[in-house]
A and B are shown apart, each in its own frame.
Chain A
Amino acid sequence: MQWETVIGLEIHTQLATRSKIFSATSTAFGAEPNTQASAIDLGLPGVLPVLNEEAVRLAVRFGAAIGAEIAPRSVFARKNYFYPDLPKGYQISQYELPVVGRGQVEILLEDGSVKTIGVTRAHLEEDAGKSLHEDFQGYTGIDLNRAGTPLLEIVSEPDLRSPQEAVAYAKKIHQIVRYIGISDGNMQEGSFRMDANVSVRPVGQKTFGTRAEIKNVNSFRFLEKAIEFEVERQIELIERGGQVVQETRLYDPTKDETRSMRTKEEANDYRYFPDPDLLPLEIDAAFIEAATADLPELPDAKRARFRADYGLSDYDANLLTASRELADYFEAVARICGEPKLAANWVSGELMAALNKSERDISDSPVSAAQLAGLLERIQDKTLSGKLAKQVFEAMFQGEGEVDAIIKARGLKQITDTGAIETMIDAIIAANPAQVEQYRAGKDKVFGFFVGQVMKASAGKANPAQVNELLKRKLQG
């Protein structure tokens, strides 16, 4: 039987506010346990939440970025359950009336086509604390620094049909939240966590199969692997005559499998009801206008512009718009050197490779956009060959200084003096009569030997185009 996979994602993205969603406590990452937990975060008796306006502003920006309706009135609700890292015994979230309504994003499929994925809603909520199960023999440590951190939960429609589509969608949301500056998207620190609802059905069937929810995946690679495993598990189960049960599962990356956490029967009844401590959240046009006035160009628009304005390929345009920082870097290089394609090749090639190798982000690249543009200018004015330029680039990346200083210090200036190249060629021809004979007898491959000899003699500095041209002439004799 042919099976179709159906996936919906719930993404929790931490909003980049300075203080928590309902208290004035700092949200900075990495502090000593429980040093960033006030009476409100601890859920002491008599304390009350007050909504952080900045969190609302960031949620509104997201809504605008995905073309969603911003609810003029939304409501905070309590999600009730007991857990030691949930201080109040309930999480303040939004349930029936979320702040961001239906919107959509476009993802690029592997075959180059574009698919629209519906976003059902996005709502504001507070994060819980952390339970630390290691380090405490027979006990669980509770760190409430994270309790009350603002989250935007972004819920997709079940529009995704493969693990790859799910990853493309997740990456797109990740890209958007970082573009519009509402989240640092730092996956190691838990700023971007994904839950995947996965089900399968026979191709052609209209109704959905029973779904399992894979909780708390924090990398795109794991997301893909977890869904792959889950799809296979479900298909195998059904084909063996079994039934998928609605349940929550966890992905274990070390074993590359998902495991049952709890079934629907064991699931909590969260007893949602409107939080009487908070008034309904009312958002007017002026607030939306102020929150979205400085929204930057979004990834899709930027990609289209890069293709149109700079003549970049789909591949390059996609790559160079992956983040705002990278796109800005590329544009700066292209502007200074005036050669967008050359700039694109260098940024997506040498620079990205070097950054990846040294595990650095574009924002802390040791080579600035101006420096890279300076290097490209030396290629354009023929001071450097491509090969020499790579040497200079490496030196710059190691922090050895500016382009011209490195060229000078290393004597890397390209030899373009025809006389000097001719002298070298003459000497090599004279020294290798046998090879000259072979070439003249029609063995073209020997040509490469001569090029190599000349480059060696010039310590790689001879202009390759000139070498080629002069060699051909002289060898034909």
Chain B
Amino acid sequence: MQNKSIAELAADLRLRRYSSLELTRHYLERIERLDARLNSYITVDAEGALAAAERADEALRRDAAGPLTGIPIAHKDIFCTAGLRTTCASRMLENFTAPYDATVVERLAAAGAVVLGKTNMDEFAMGSSNETSHFGPVRNPWDAARVPGGSSGGSAAAVAARLCAAATGTDTGGSIRQPAAFCGITGIKPTYGRCSRWGMIAFASSLDQAGVMARSAADAACLLDEMAGFDRRDSTSAEVPVPDYVDSLDDDLHGLRIGLPKEYFGEGLDPGVARSVEAAIREYEQLGATIKDISLPNSPLSVPVYYVVAPAECSSNLARFDGVRYGHRCEHPASLEDLYTRSRAEGFGAEVRRRIMIGTYVLSAGYYDAYYLKAQKIRQLIAQDFRRAFEEVDVILGPTSPTTAFALGAKLDDPVAMYLNDIYTIATNLAGLPGMSIPIEPVAGLPVGLQLIGNYFQEARLLNVAHRFQHATHWHQAAPAGFE
């Protein structure tokens, strides 16, 4: 069951080959048996999942099933779930339960999805290896000594290990695409504003976007169909009509113009990863696409720009965690100052504290113009590069990450090396564009991700381009040993 696509599962449920309760129990049993190796879940909600599965079966009996009725999924623990704790993988929110559902959670529930639990992540989504979680690191299902990527590492590992049919993720600088690449799954970060941010705990508000982590583009399309759309509770969500992402999956790729940015194939790219990407490019040529070399001249600046903008926003977004109303509070505060400093020092991990300090610094009087304002200007230039590129090509293609999954602990003491891991993914967030990662030919037994970047609100096109590749290849079907 765990290897079936969402369309197949939905069809089986409708034909009563098995019930949602059986399917849900099957996943819960797998989590119980296998997740000790991965630590991909922070909270497993067996009781809630079984109750939802029963309701799904009831709906199926009444022929009142939605598109995802009875399909077991998982949510990244950054999405608020009413009545089920939401930790953001932080000690700060270890015991926090929101009284509301995130819009994404609400919409997937309305479509009938069953929630198995909440997946592990880097604390407050700050990290590229899932090692900053208060609940311990997640291990890569392909090699337990390696990281799954981050920040949506728990969702990526759980999907790869078949511990859920699909999962939600969020992507601020690559947090869906990079772990998808490391774990050999398909991840899509939609256009900024495509999915509502309501109820999604903010890291960097102008960059954060919810998306899907799944085993195929077709599965991702099934979830995104339900998640996308305007939400009046989020002023930055887009009032742009949502097409049916499943409908256009099979569209022909003849005449598709693919751009290869030279900046994505330079120094720092692992030769094995480069060879895999080149093989994928040839596959696209076979499928009828034309390839064009392009340039995104400002993209080398994207990492420094990102590490000004994102920490600036995070320093303000995380100010609400002050120990006053909810969240971690230090014992016996001696004064207000003591309450703030100790609650926050105890509640936040080292990486979160580092980013809060960077952000506070770049927004300070006397530094604002030199850092924040300048970064915002370069951000415009980066977006402009893409606008120019999309006048000539339909999709931009390149590696998702310069390397395959690295060893646990390898970059933990070197933040800059860690930050450079997102060198190919960050520019997309700065520009607000949609991006995907799909598995291509592995290197030394480790998954490699191919990144596809589309123009604004071209998610349907991206999913179509990804699906046609997956139709012609089998990389996305590979399962890590021990999790088949």
Contacts and interface: CB of A to CB of B under 8 A. Distances in A.
Interface of A: 39, 42-51, 78, 80, 82, 84, 87-90, 142, 269, 271-273, 276-279
B235 A46 contact: no
Contacts of B313: 276
Given A39-B98, A46-B202, A82-B319, 11 more contacts: A39-B99, A46-B86, A46-B102, A46-B200, A46-B201, A47-B100, A48-B198, A89-B318, A271-B368, A277-B202, A279-B236
Contacts of A87: 320, 324-325
Given A84-B324, A273-B368, A46 B98 contact: yes
B360 A142 contact: no
B79 to A, nearest CB: 8
A39 B102 CA distance: 12
Nearest to B200: A46
A276 B206 contact: yes
B103 to A, nearest CB: 10
Contacts of A78: 316
B372 interface: yes
A277 B201 contact: no
B181 interface: no
Contact of A45 (B96, B315, B324): B96
B336 A84 contact: yes
A46 B199 contact: yes
A64 B352 CA distance: 46
Contacts of B197: 46, 48
B234 interface: yes
Interface of B: 79-80, 86, 88, 93, 96, 98-100, 102, 197-202, 204-206, 232-236, 312-313, 315-316, 318-322, 324-326, 336, 340, 360, 363-365, 368, 372
B235 A51 contact: yes
A271 B364 contact: yes
A90 B326 contact: no
Contact of B325 (A42, A269, A278): A42
Given A44-B98, A80-B319, A89-B322, A50 B235 contact: yes
A46 B319 CA distance: 13
22 contacts: A39-B99, A39-B100, A43-B320, A43-B325, A45-B321, A46-B199, A46-B200, A47-B198, A48-B233, A48-B235, A48-B236, A50-B232, A80-B315, A82-B319, A87-B320, A87-B325, A271-B315, A271-B363, A271-B365, A272-B368, A273-B368, A276-B236
Contact of A273 (B99, B316, B320): B316
Nearest to B336: A84
Nearest to B92: A45
Contacts of A43: 320, 325
A421 B93 CA distance: 93
A48 B206 CA distance: 13
A271 B100 CA distance: 31
B235 A82 contact: no
A277 B202 CA distance: 10
B360 A271 contact: yes
Nearest to A270: B365
B316 A89 contact: yes
A156 to B, nearest CB: 24
Contacts of B318: 89
A49 B235 contact: yes
A81 to B, nearest CB: 9
A89 B320 contact: yes
Contact of B233 (A50, A269, A271): A50
A72 to B, nearest CB: 18
A277 B235 contact: yes
B199 A88 contact: no
A414 B188 CA distance: 93
Contacts of B202: 45-46, 277
Main secondary structure of the interface of A (DSSP, over half): loop
A473 B326 CA distance: 92
Given A45-B201, A273-B363, A80 B235 contact: no
A90 B336 CA distance: 17
Contacts of A39: 98-100
Contacts of A46: 79-80, 86, 98, 100, 102, 197-202
Contact of B98 (A45, A49, A80, A82): A45
Nearest to B312: A273
B324 A271 contact: no
Nearest to A85: B324
B214 to A, nearest CB: 23
Contacts of A90: 316, 319
A54 to B, nearest CB: 16
A278 B363 contact: no
A269 B205 CA distance: 22
B199 A82 contact: no
Nearest to B99: A39
A51 B236 CA distance: 12
Nearest to B196: A48
Contacts of A89: 316, 318-320, 322
A446 to B, nearest CB: 80
Contacts of B198: 46-48
B224 to A, nearest CB: 20
Contacts of A44: 98-100, 320, 326
Contact of A82 (B102, B205, B312, B322): B322
Nearest to B234: A48
Which 6 pairs, one residue from A and one from B, show the smallest C-beta to C-beta distance? A89-B319, A271-B363, A276-B206, A276-B205, A46-B199, A43-B320
A84 B316 CA distance: 15
Contacts of B365: 269, 271
A46 B202 CA distance: 6
A322 B102 CA distance: 50
Contacts of A278: 235-236
Contacts of B96: 45
Nearest to B204: A276
A49 B206 CA distance: 14
Contacts of A80: 315-316, 319, 363
Contacts of A269: 364-365
A39 B99 CA distance: 8
Contacts of B98: 39, 44-46
Contacts of B336: 84
Give the most central of B100, B102, B322, B365: most A CB within 10 Å: B322
